[in-house]
Chains A and B, each alone.
Chain A
């Protein structure tokens, strides 16, 4: 069974569109995260979400909004997509102060 899954794996869209990436974990973890990996492989935390508490990296534009319908899911919604949003987005989950388990990533290409 896949521990942390993301859909879609690839997403190609036009500038200005709105898109969502879904993440699900079946590990029973309390905390979920979104990371962005740019073209130079640099990984940066975007959000941490624990029991309805959202911690936002303040450098993330407010066009990005995480939505968590329940503890096992954390979706990422992006409004008004820009060229610079092209990246690989990783979802992860953990128990607090334990290692994080990463999903396979979603490669977003904005044209």
Chain B
């Protein structure tokens, strides 16, 4: 069975600083990997996805993520954080069976002015 670990429960960064959110997965085959963002009281919005090909993927809102098979990681990055990026971020892996997603526990991002 697949699993996803997000080691950082909370992260606080200053506005304008760079950001990296960590994600490690466990899956027997080539994974489908996703990052979603959830603002307070809202649903989940897809930031970016990796299915195959280029291991550096670009997403919306200036986010990118890099798939590293050797490290079983799919870390999310942003070069300069904006106050509006404060939210909960979820990494997820997709399984072939039923296409169901397994989510990590989430990382809450707080942005200092």
What residues of chain A lie closer than 8 Å to B51, measured between beta carbons? Answer: 97
- Contact at B99–A31, with CB atoms within 8 Å? yes
- Contact at A41–B99, with CB atoms within 8 Å? no
In this complex, how many residues of chain A approach chain B with their Cβ under 8 Å: the count is 26
- Contact at A55–B43, with CB atoms within 8 Å? no
- Contact at B32–A45, with CB atoms within 8 Å? no
User: CA A94 – CA B95 in complex, angstroms?
Assistant: 13
Contact A96:B103 (CB < 8 A) given known A43-B90, A104-B43: no
Query: What's the nearest-Cβ distance from chain A to residue B98, in Å?
Result: 4
Residues of A within 8 A of B (CB): 4, 31, 33, 35, 40-45, 48, 50, 55, 57, 90, 92, 94, 96-97, 99-105
Residues of B within 8 A of A (CB): 32, 34, 36, 38, 42-46, 49, 51, 88, 90, 94, 96-103, 105-106, 108
